[in-house]
């Protein structure tokens, strides 16, 4: 959707401008798909929010250097404040329920 506009840069409120737009949109779509799939699996398994968050964090932790076992704990805390798993999983669960797509959802595209 955004890629079709062919923007020269993206401006993120927390992270500043990005000039590699195509790669950033591709990676963003990938992250949305991973988080949505993991959250859908948790939802389909009947997990409550706390357990769904724990499952999604466990399944996605390896994707983020700031959450690696040898990472600076302050960096991990900052990552959680800016992109908290609980907030993201709650939002995705809400969207899945509201859209009626808990069992099947459209893939995000860059």
Domain assignment of residue 20, yes or no: no
Domain assignment of residue 10, yes or no: no
- The first and second tokens of residue 47, run together, are 């997990």
Query: According to the model, what pLDDT value does residue 105 have?
Result: 46
Domain assignment of residue 28, yes or no: no
Instruction: Tell me if 35 sits within 8 A of 88, measured CB to CB.
Output: yes
Domain assignment of residue 74, yes or no: yes
Domain assignment of residue 76, yes or no: yes
List C-alpha distances in Å: 2 to 8, 27, 31. Answer: 11, 13, 15
| Positions of E strands within the chain | 10-12, 16-18
- The first and second tokens of residue 77, run together, are 């805390």
Bridge partners (DSSP) listed for residue 87: none
Query: According to the model, what pLDDT value does residue 109 have?
Result: 52
Which residues span the domain enclosing 49? 35-99
Domain assignment of residue 69, yes or no: yes
- How many domains are there within the chain? 1
Mean confidence (pLDDT) of the chain? 84
At 25-56, the pLDDT tens digits run 898 889 899 999 999 999 889 898 999 999 98
Domain assignment of residue 110, yes or no: no
- The first and second tokens of residue 106, run together, are 């459209």
Strongest mean pLDDT among 44-48, 60-64, 103-107: 44-48
């Amino acid at each position: 959707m955004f890629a079709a506009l062919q923007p020269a840069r993206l401006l993120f409120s927390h992270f500043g401008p990005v000039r590699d737009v195509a790669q950033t949109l591709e990676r963003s779509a990938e992250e949305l798909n991973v988080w949505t799939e993991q959250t859908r699996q948790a939802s389909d398994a009947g997990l409550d929010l706390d357990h769904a968050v724990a499952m999604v964090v466990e399944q996605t932790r390896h994707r983020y250097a700031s959450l690696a076992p040898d990472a600076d704990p302050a960096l991990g805390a900052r990552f959680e404040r800016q992109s908290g798993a609980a907030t993201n999983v709650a939002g995705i669960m809400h969207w899945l329920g509201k859209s009626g797509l808990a069992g099947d959802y459209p893939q995000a595209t860059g």
